[in-house]
Amino acid sequence: MQWNNELKKWLKEIPDEYDIPILWDLFLQELKIKAKDVQQTNTLNKLDKLRMEGFEIKSYVNTFEELAERAGLTATNPDTTYLFLKGLNASVRSSIIKKPIYGYQMARAYALDDILVTHQQNQNFLIATHSICQHP
């Protein structure tokens, strides 16, 4: 809001003879820059709070990548990797954090693989349990 107050003060100080289109063009350009900064900050805050629910990795990855793109984060930016890992559920994060991670793409691949392996192990367990129950 301080920027807003400074802008109002600045506009009041402009003499009428300087009320020229180029001045307003500069004003609009500055306003667009500030609006973009605010949007980027809001998106980064959403990314910081984003959490994977259960084992819904695809939904998490899709939302994460959409927000990261809007925030201007690239796959090679270390902040992208950090925010991605931070939002994973504890079991997935603790499993993949033990591996060497060289960027977001690798962290994403490890997380997807971990979920796939966990899902496959759970299915194998259910099949074995079902088989034992049917043939005591």
CA distances from 117 to 1, 101, 126 (A): 50, 18, 14
Mean pLDDT, the chain, integer: 83
For residue 26, the Cα-to-chain-centroid distance in whole angstroms is 32
- Characterise 101 by phi-psi region: left (phi > 0), alpha (psi -120 to 50), beta (else): beta
**Residue position matching structure tokens 């180029």:** 22
Nearest to 115 by CA among 73, 67, 56, 69: 56
Backbone phi, psi, residue 59, to 5°: -65, -45
Query: Which of the residue ranges 3-7, 25-29, 37-41, 96-100 would you say has the lowest mean pLDDT?
Result: 3-7
44-66 pLDDT per residue, tens: 999 999 999 988 999 999 999 99
Number of domains in the chain: 1
> Mean pLDDT over residues 94-102, rounded?
91
Residue 90 lies in domain: 2-134
CA distances from 49 to 85, 135, 136 (A): 12, 48, 49
pTM above 0.85, yes or no: no
Res 1: pLDDT: 61
**Residue position matching structure tokens 């959409």:** 66
Residue 126 has pLDDT above 70, yes or no: no
Q: Percentage of the chain with pLDDT > 90?
A: 49
Torsion, CA 60, CA 91, CA 82, CA 84, rounded to 10:
-10
